[in-house]
Amino acid sequence: MPRHSDELVFAPLGGVGEIGMNLALYGFGQELHRRWLAVDLGVAIAGDDLPGIELIFPDIRYLIEERRNIVGLVLTHAHEDHFGALIHLWPQLEIPVHATPFTAALLAAKQQGEPGAPEIPVNVVPLGGRFHLGPFDIELVSMAHSIPESNGLIIRTPLGAVLHTGDWKIDASPVIGPATDEAKLRALGNEGCLALIGDSTNAVREGRSPCEADVAKCLAELIRTAPRRVAVTTFASNVARLRTVAEAAAMCEREVVVVGRAMDRITQVARETGYLDGIKEFRSVDLYGHLPPDKVLALCTGSQGEPRAALSRISQDEHPDVAFARGDRVIFSSRAIPGNEKAVMRVINGLIAQGVEVITDRTHLVHASGHPRMDELRDMIAWVHPEILLPVHGEPLHLAEHAELARRAGVGKVLVCRDGEVVRLAPGGPEKIDEIPAGRVYKDGSLLVSAEERTVADRRRLGFSGVVSVALALSDRGEIIGDLGLTLTGIPATDAQGRNPMDVAHDAAMEAFSALPRAGRRDPELVAEAIRRAVRAALSAIWSKKPTCHVHVLEV
Ligand SMILES: [Zn+2]
Ligand SMILES: [Zn+2]
């Protein structure tokens, strides 16, 4: 029985208002004595607008503060946007982690692959399993998705049951693993579902996502009719797709050669966990050149145009073992994640320039998304008929569309929230009642930097207009000893009149120094500031850009 002042709250720290870095909190108890359940701890991938940054993590300040009140972290599945931040952030939390076998195995493989990664103990939970963490009674619901073992969570509390869908779609024939567990979801609907916290990724798309079995048919046909070599690229974690490709290759007696480290790691884990049972061992990449063109299929990483991945290097003719030739066929069994379109186009253009035939989902059913479209979202609402619906896992547009769809489907209480907001679900929810610290942290080399620091903004500015360094030695009588030291980085070598900007900067600095009154010339700070301004103004006059300028004055 709940006490009078107990509350059930939902507080997302990532993934609500953006795609990626999913981290959700559920809190139960009195306001000052809440116990927290964390769901997922993912990354977002940084784009070109964040120079030097590869990964973005949710800011976990609040979790660190509340560490003692966290009853555990449950991973819904092993996509990077759900578990990618764990090995980086877990040491600051050291909370118990729960996951199903494939997710746990992939996490272990990742830890082995990264030197210095922490040993994270994982409680392995069976598919469909039920377990208690503090005040939360958690039951897993199998969901079809684009990776094995995606789980929704039914979180039962004395104030009601919540369905946290995780990533899901409806697919009656998902190639591997169980289909979305409609019976369990309908049973939850009959039992009574207080709130549905649901995936909004494809809420802007009409209809239903194609099923994996239809994709398999199309891929098999394209592989069968390929005249010469054939290569397929897809997300390495899409084991169903790997299986489909391997089966199609076996039908036409092609050996599957795996190209790319991420693909190696996943296929190993998929074999350990049984998801590639009955599939012939894949061959190592050094065999590629020795097989006749119609007896080989290359399974490549790089479907998102990642510059260091196999397909990108092949497209630029820079791969040590693999090359394509005129008449070969490359199939993109994938779709570019928003933000990656340009990178993918660069790879496609490189391949076409080599005379390779490129097939994408623009013209063939070679890919199906792992997220629910509108009709699937309506089905879920009809099965579960929640009192409350909160859209998550999406950018503002996706959340708004999901909310609208839910209202039209008859859900009485729909609320769109954002990272950092605390929403009371019961009693009397949904209502935004508080805010907690939320934000983004960048992985910069081996360090973590707050998005609020100037680091990346500075880097962007340097990337735009370069930097000038001036060094000079100043005597106590206010004279420059010797010559100025000048370094220009990232600045054009000549101006429109053919002058060297180095000379322009030098003259500007000397003139600014001479223009100072005698007393001022003995003040190193005044000297530095006058030179800095003069150099920037002079370069701006010839270039229409103002570089960063550092002046170092050495008093001798
Ligand atoms: Zn996913
Ligand atoms: Zn996701």
pLDDT tens readout for residues 344-401: 999 999 999 999 999 999 999 999 999 999 999 999 999 999 999 999 999 999 999 9
pLDDT (tens digit per residue) in 16-54: 999 899 999 999 999 989 999 999 999 998 888 898 998
Share of the chain above pLDDT 70, in %: 100
**Gap from CA of 420 to ligand 2 centroid (Å):** 19
pLDDT at 8: 98
Q: Which helix (H) or strand (E) holds 505?
A: helix 501-515
pLDDT at 217: 95
**Is 1's pLDDT higher than 90?**
no
Which residues, in sequence order, are CB contacts of 79 under 8 Å at separation 6+?
Answer: 42, 146, 147, 167, 237
SS3 label, residue 377: helix
Strand partners, 423: 10, 432
**Gap from CA of 335 to ligand 1 centroid (Å):** 14
CB 302 within 8 A of CB 333: no
**Gap from CA of 395 to ligand 2 centroid (Å):** 12
**Gap from CA of 391 to ligand 1 centroid (Å):** 16
**Gap from CA of 370 to ligand 1 centroid (Å):** 7
Nearest to 151 by CA among 190, 109, 102: 102
Q: Which ligand is nearest to the CA of 14?
A: 2
**Gap from CA of 168 to ligand 1 centroid (Å):** 8
| Mean pLDDT of the 308-334 span | 95
| Token pair of 157 as six digits | 């509390």
**Gap from CA of 20 to ligand 2 centroid (Å):** 6
Mean of the per-residue pLDDT values of the chain: 95
Distance CA 349, CA 367 (A): 20
| Mean pLDDT of the 469-477 span | 95
**Gap from CA of 270 to ligand 2 centroid (Å):** 20
More confident position, 344 or 262 = 344
**Gap from CA of 472 to ligand 2 centroid (Å):** 55
Which residues, in sequence order, are CB contacts of 335 under 8 Å at separation 6+?
Answer: 361, 367, 369
Q: Which helix (H) or strand (E) holds 330?
A: strand 329-332
**Gap from CA of 550 to ligand 2 centroid (Å):** 44
* Cα dist from 440 to 10, 474, 512, whole Å: 19, 44, 43
pTM higher than 0.75: yes
**Gap from CA of 15 to ligand 2 centroid (Å):** 8
| Mean pLDDT of the 436-452 span | 93
| Mean pLDDT of the 248-275 span | 94
**Gap from CA of 146 to ligand 2 centroid (Å):** 10
| Mean pLDDT of the 130-151 span | 98
pLDDT (tens digit per residue) in 47-95: 888 989 989 999 999 999 999 999 999 999 999 999 999 999 999 999 9
| Mean pLDDT of the 246-254 span | 95
pLDDT at 429: 86
Distance CA 418, CA 58 (A): 13
| Token pair of 10 as six digits | 């939902």
Nearest to 13 by CA among 37, 49, 31: 37
Crossing angle for the helix pair 101-113 and 261-272, nearest 10 degrees?
Answer: 140
| Alpha helices (H) in 225-369, listed in sequence order | 239-251, 261-272, 310-315, 341-353
**Is 313's pLDDT higher than 90?**
yes
More confident position, 45 or 426 = 426
CB 407 within 8 A of CB 27: no
Q: Which ligand is nearest to the CA of 198?
A: 2
**Gap from CA of 33 to ligand 2 centroid (Å):** 30
**Gap from CA of 147 to ligand 1 centroid (Å):** 7
CB 141 within 8 A of CB 100: no
**Gap from CA of 82 to ligand 2 centroid (Å):** 6
| Token pair of 315 as six digits | 């497209």
* Cα dist from 122 to 41, 125, 278, 304, whole Å: 14, 9, 28, 30
Protein residues within 5 Å, CB atom, of ion ligand 1: 79, 167
pLDDT at 295: 95
ω into residue 427 within 30 of 0, thus cis? yes
**Gap from CA of 360 to ligand 2 centroid (Å):** 22
pLDDT at 2: 67
**Gap from CA of 146 to ligand 1 centroid (Å):** 7
